[in-house]
Structure 1
């Protein structure tokens, strides 16, 4: 049936609008009379009586009364059109029109209430162990949590799963994860737990807490913000000291504490085979080292450096010491110690320079050597050298005055053009200077060995 087949029903009794549409051919004949019908303008219509407005003063009826009566008659004719009844039938039809919409409204409300009751569910919601009963229209667990403003993350637990459909009587549990900054036997890490107390978190994380040291009591509650927790489990540590072995069970934080728990005292420079402040591991063996020590000061020489300078006054291959080198001295402090009665290698502690070294300066000849000395060739210079110095170019007499192959004194040597000391010059240069001296003075400079020149 299309919308055009209906005519809009005007709400009686001052209703804002009709709750539904009636068909244009709608007709109903009631079996019982419904009494009076209130007409427009406040008039009551009674079957078999004329109706109209009250008479005007003076007993005459105005023209408006006739027009009103005509309109009412037209309405009555329309109401009874297509029926066989009289005026009583029209009254019953009008009254029925008024009651049908009210009956339909009541039926609509009754059906809506039944649907409302059917969708309502009574469930029990527990959040971190605190239960409460509530009514909800949510279809599944996720809708329920959203309605309650409960956000869950990767570390939280929801049972049953969020996509599970809800039914009245269901129980839903939410347990929020809590971050725990756990330092377990010296190793720090971040873990998550849904436990509410330290004891529950330890059980959930599988941490052996018997005999362990805890930075917080087992009964302490863990808030949503989390907790810093340090746990030192009980370990077996063996202490070797003074020729004895001691094995203990300990939850000590450092090796030093474990040694003290074993009844061993560290004194003075005593230490352990592992760092005393390190964390003792399960099954570890620690050796106590008894240390005795002292300090020793030693004076050590500082070698001097040698610098060579080219000298054009010297023949090639000739070197002369212009400045003698002198070693320096430093004062060095060493730590001497014995570990468990065994002496250790001295350890250098400090050093102080007492005297700086003096560099040695050596002149190196670059002058071309002369070939011969006229008047001195053909003599046995080797025999003279063996007689004077045993053939040694660096020989020096016991008084320190004469030196070299031919035992020059420094004054004579330098007068002949030599530099430095004769014993520092090469053998060839010494022979050259000796030949020059022979040309000047003959064999007299060598009164005891000069005769060897001629065999």
Structure 2
């Protein structure tokens, strides 16, 4: 029921409403290579969106009723030969006539005149208009002064995304048409980019035209004829794009609406095998004008053995002279087996990539004893000799010197057996110079200069 004093009734005819010239929309899109500019339609369901303001309706009241003057029972002839009309006196109930009768008729005539004028004003304010809500027309009578009041009376709520034509402040006149189109949210994914937009179109095709989306050759997740309800719709659109595929020394340019680079490569007739891949991620979205290079990949495995360095452990030994180091355990490097993959991309060998390893042999640490005992410098019976001259003759004064045969070493060219017999450890050439001189003095006390047959005379 209408809020007006008259009933709302449906039309008994089906008017033809052609599609609007342009559809309204509420978003302006600026995408990578597409510009979606929205233009408001000139008409909405056949109703102009904007029009000149109409003048207010002026209703002239009808003629005042003519009331006979009291005390006159006839009209005299007057003017140019007009007939006079005699009105015979009537007898009223109760036997009265003449002036009493006229006094009774005057109030009744006034009441009739008042009712006639009020009915004229009532009829003048009543308007027959056509209201089209979301494409559904109905004709109704209303006393509303403007479009906004009409919509309020009819309980039509209009939101920020809805369209009303003409504007809500437009004055109403009988015969006007008012159109309301509700906005609908569309969760649009266009070429991989997601956006929430609003449209007043009732179909997918109308929404695409509103948004300026190029739909020729495009993939649509819903058919163009699909209806869009008040709750909206999720729509995925992939427009047709140009993509160039470089593979096996050939260039292929295709038009595609593929969702991934992998699909575009397959559409070009190129097959990815084994470890083959593309210059961009195969699951990424192919852009218009993009060039994708297919990389043919072959891979091999290589196993290499690598050494594991050993640790060195040093311990103090108070039985050894200071500066003396004795290797107790020489130590041994470990062995690790390492696996690498070697890729060849389009015929070019890449840097090996380590993918695994295992220890074949654990390393063994080196153990060294370090002497802390104070080295004695004096040996009775040998301190006054020229030991530096003997050392220069035997080894050139070099503590680590070794003869070509490897048998003799150190300043005084000890052999290892003699050196250890004098209390030395390890090899003589590894001992400090002071210890070598001390051992040489002890040898001289035992055997004289005979251990140095060529240079002994220098002492």
TM over 0.5: yes
Aligned twin of 1:447: 451
- For 2:111 and 2:366, how far apart are their aligned partners in 1? 128
Q: Does 1:353 align with 2:328?
A: no
2:342–2:353: 8 Å Cα contact kept in structure 1? Answer: yes
Aligned twin of 1:429: 435
Deviations 1:14-39 (A, max 9, x none): xxxxxxxxxxxxxx999977546xxx
Residue 407 of structure 1: how far off its partner (Å): 3.2
1:296–1:333: 8 Å Cα contact kept in structure 2? Answer: yes
Which range moves more in the overlay, 281-290 or 104-113? 104-113
1:319–1:426: 8 Å Cα contact kept in structure 2? Answer: no
Q: Does 1:210 align with 2:187?
A: no
Aligned twin of 2:16: none
Aligned twin of 2:341: 335
- For 2:296 and 2:132, how far apart are their aligned partners in 1? 63
Residue 252 of structure 1: how far off its partner (Å): 1.1
1:176–1:194: 8 Å Cα contact kept in structure 2? Answer: yes
Larger Rg: 1
- For 2:370 and 2:146, how far apart are their aligned partners in 1? 106
CA separation of 1:241 and 1:443: change in aligned 2, threshold 3 A: farther
Aligned twin of 1:293: 299
**Which segments of 5 or more consecutive residues in structure 1 lack a partner in the other structure?**
1-27, 37-46, 48-87
Deviations 1:305-339 (A, max 9, x none): 33445555555554444443322221110111211
CA separation of 1:424 and 1:190: change in aligned 2, threshold 3 A: farther
CA separation of 1:408 and 1:212: change in aligned 2, threshold 3 A: same
- For 1:377 and 1:428, how far apart are their aligned partners in 2? 13
CA separation of 1:176 and 1:318: change in aligned 2, threshold 3 A: farther
Corresponding residue SS for 1:258? helix
Deviations 1:375-429 (A, max 9, x none): 332434456556766765456789988765443647954973x566544433333
Aligned twin of 1:201: 207
- For 1:125 and 1:276, how far apart are their aligned partners in 2? 54
Q: Does 1:175 align with 2:181?
A: yes
Pick one of 160, 184, 191 that aligns with 1:185.
Answer: 191
Aligned twin of 1:407: 414
- For 2:115 and 2:362, how far apart are their aligned partners in 1? 116
Structural mapping, 1:43-192, within 5 Å: 100=107, 110-192=116-198
Aligned twin of 1:264: 270
Corresponding residue SS for 2:213? coil
- For 2:421 and 2:202, how far apart are their aligned partners in 1? 105
Residue 105 of structure 1: how far off its partner (Å): 6.5
Aligned twin of 2:290: 284
CA separation of 1:122 and 1:361: change in aligned 2, threshold 3 A: farther
CA separation of 1:117 and 1:305: change in aligned 2, threshold 3 A: farther
CA separation of 1:136 and 1:332: change in aligned 2, threshold 3 A: same
Residue 208 of structure 1: how far off its partner (Å): 1.0
- For 1:268 and 1:390, how far apart are their aligned partners in 2? 70
2:393–2:455: 8 Å Cα contact kept in structure 1? Answer: no
**Which segments of 5 or more consecutive residues in structure 2 lack a partner in the other structure?**
1-69, 73-88
Q: Does 1:221 align with 2:204?
A: no
Q: CA RMSD in A?
A: 3.7
Structural mapping, 1:24-43, within 5 Å: 35=93
Corresponding residue SS for 2:441? helix
- For 1:152 and 1:438, how far apart are their aligned partners in 2? 123
Residue 453 of structure 1: how far off its partner (Å): 6.6
Corresponding residue SS for 2:434? helix
Q: Does 1:234 align with 2:248?
A: no
Residue 298 of structure 1: how far off its partner (Å): 0.3
The alignment's TM-score, normalised by the length of structure 2, stands at 0.69
Residue 348 of structure 1: how far off its partner (Å): 1.1
Corresponding residue SS for 1:296? strand
CA separation of 1:142 and 1:421: change in aligned 2, threshold 3 A: farther
CA separation of 1:372 and 1:33: change in aligned 2, threshold 3 A: farther
Aligned twin of 2:60: none
1:155–1:192: 8 Å Cα contact kept in structure 2? Answer: yes
Structural mapping, 1:11-26, within 5 Å: none
Corresponding residue SS for 1:257? helix
Corresponding residue SS for 1:116? helix
Corresponding residue SS for 2:124? helix
2:277–2:294: 8 Å Cα contact kept in structure 1? Answer: yes
Aligned twin of 2:4: none
- For 2:377 and 2:398, how far apart are their aligned partners in 1? 22
Residue 234 of structure 1: how far off its partner (Å): 1.0
Aligned twin of 2:250: 244
Residue 264 of structure 1: how far off its partner (Å): 1.1
Which range moves more in the overlay, 117-126 or 342-351? 117-126
2:419–2:439: 8 Å Cα contact kept in structure 1? Answer: no
- For 2:310 and 2:115, how far apart are their aligned partners in 1? 119
Greater RCO between the two (CA within 8 Å, min separation 6)? 2
